[in-house]
Structure 1
Amino acid sequence: MNEYTKEELEEALRAINSTIMKCEKVLPKLKQGTSQHTLLIRRIKAFHIATSLIKKALGDK
């Protein structure tokens, strides 16, 4: 697995958190049940998982 510096992980975390906020802002504008709505929900969940993994990696260092 690739090794990343603490700074790289922290920057990735900031970028992902920013993207999550933008996605959550758009979500109410999409009609429930549409493919765009479902995709955005899944994308937000994936970003939350990525955030958790990055935080775990930062804790291990």
Structure 2
Amino acid sequence: MNFTLVELREAKRQIDSIIHKLNETVKTLESKDSPERYKSQLTLAKRRIKALTISVELIKNELKRNDIQN
């Protein structure tokens, strides 16, 4: 599938925002009195952060590749 540079930049911006919100969620859950109660939520949030971080890196690579070709 081909995406425009505008679409890739917007996707990166949106993913960066989601990562930021997930990081804030992790901080909040870890600061609770009994963070062990939130183990599954923390695990899920951290896995999502990792997956989204990979996505951002792939988008950045695609943007670089397109910049080189143009």
Q: TM-score, structure 1 length as denominator? A: 0.91
1:29 aligns with 2:28: yes
Q: What are structure 2's unaligned runs of at least 5 residues?
A: 30-34
CA–CA distance in structure 1, aligned partners of residues 4 and 28 of structure 2: 37
1:18 aligns with 2:17: yes
CA offsets, 1:16-50, max 9 Å, x none?
00000000011022225611110000000001000
Q: How many residues align?
A: 60
Q: What are structure 1's unaligned runs of at least 5 residues?
A: none
1:53 aligns with 2:58: yes
1:9 aligns with 2:8: yes
Q: What percentage of residue pairs aligned between the two structures are identical?
A: 42
Q: TM-score, structure 2 length as denominator? A: 0.80
Work out which of the two has the higher radius of gyration on C-alpha atoms and give 1 or 2: 2
Query: What is the RMSD computed on CA atoms of the aligned residues?
Result: 1.2
What is the DSSP-based 3-state SS (H/G/I as helix, E as strand, rest coil) of the residue aligned with 1:34? helix
